[in-house]
Structure 1
Amino acid sequence: MLAKRPKYTEEDLETILVTREQIQTRVEELGVELSKFYEGRDVTIVSILSGALIFTADLIRSCDFPTRLDCLRAESYGNATSAQEPPRITNPLKTDITGHDVLVVDDILDSGNTLKSIIAHLEGFSPASLKTCVLLDKPARHEKSFSADFCGFTIPDQFVVGYGLDFAERYRNLASIGVLKKELQDSATHI
């Protein structure tokens, strides 16, 4: 007999911080903000894998300017609930960004270490401009003086999943963003 597999649903959340509807509304608003900011320019969007993939896809559809898309993978969490230092860039860009306007899209600005490392890495390619857009910002966790240029939501210092954000590669499929129950964060058997 096959063992029953966990479903990884919103029932595993202690609380929902950002609903599907709030996400949709804010992503559309960010698209308008970015369209005004980048009016008349082509932009290379660099999505940070894997957490920002869903956000990036929705954001691009909300923007009204020509885009090129590339992805960069930076590993900072692994199977933990807090970022490991230093983050590693494990998947380089395939697109030449020299002389191009670049917008880095990430899921969450937590300690700031990952995004700061990515920006330093990309500056080495001499883009015309380099801006950041994050879905979530946790200012209480910032270790370095770094802030995103565009931000969807500011959230408290809690471990969140959903809408691309994961715990050990689970929960990315949730349409809302919420706090994973503490016992599930601590339970290796749940994964």
Structure 2
Amino acid sequence: MADPSPTPTVLLAEADIARIVADLAARIAPVTDDETVAAVLLTGGLWFAADLTRALSRIGRNLRFDALWLASYGDEKTSRGAIDVYAPFQRPIAGRKVLILDDVFDTGLSLAEAARIAREGGASEVLTCVFARKPWPAPRAPEPDFVGWEAPNRFLVGYGLDNAGGLRGLPDICALD
């Protein structure tokens, strides 16, 4: 019996991802310091956040690291339109600049909720950064401060992006449609 799942089509190769991450690090480093908290949105943003914080370290910026575990998709291919908060910040962020990191910006709900949580936690400034921004009809949450890649309006997998929890570990970003 043939596998009914579509074959992933590479849209952005691993080397291109590395180049984009290095460019983002160069743009972010001047507006952050070593007291800035890089807060990844789990689970999808983990791959990007790990690469970006290492890229920042290579150019002399060693941010603190934290995470928020938010979900709006579950195992579905579309957002439910609501955000579940599974885990808040692990350490105090009051008086610190917070850089929120996520894999993809589509509805913007997760990024907006994370920014709200950071502001309510007393962050002195909240910056947002996403690896990819997908086209989305207006209205949506405020645009991120930093965007690495303008993604097509396709279902993306790889580099942390998933299909019901699968295919996150692909080294490239692929379309699965």
The TM-score, its normalising length taken from structure 2, stands at 0.90
Runs (4 or more) in structure 1 with deviation over 6 Å come to none
Gaps of 5+ in 2: none
**TM superposition shift of 1:33:** 1.0
Matched, 1:20 2:14: yes
- Contact 1:136–1:151 (Cα < 8 Å) also in 2: yes
String of CA shifts for 1:3-24, please: whole Å, max 9, x gaps. Answer: xxx8x9xx821x2221111100
Matched, 1:52 2:52: no
- Contact 2:104–2:131 (Cα < 8 Å) also in 1: yes
Gaps of 5+ in 1: 1-5, 182-191
- Contact 2:34–2:64 (Cα < 8 Å) also in 1: no
Q: Could you tell me the percent identity over the aligned residues?
A: 29
What is the letter of the counterpart of residue 52 of structure 1?
Answer: G
What is the letter of the counterpart of residue 17 of structure 2?
Answer: I
- Contact 1:112–1:142 (Cα < 8 Å) also in 2: no
Number of residues of Structure 1 aligned to a counterpart in Structure 2:
172
What is the letter of the counterpart of residue 31 of structure 2?
Answer: F
What is the letter of the counterpart of residue 33 of structure 1?
Answer: R
1:73-84 maps to which residues of 2 (within 5 A)?
A: 73-84=69-80
Name 2:97's counterpart in structure 1.
101
What is the letter of the counterpart of residue 25 of structure 1?
Answer: R
Matched, 1:123 2:116: no
RMSD: 1.9
Which residue of 108, 112, 116 maps to 2:108? 112
Task: Return closer, same or farther for 1:155/1:22 CA change in 2, 3 Å cut-off.
Answer: same
- Contact 2:93–2:122 (Cα < 8 Å) also in 1: yes
**TM superposition shift of 1:141:** 4.5
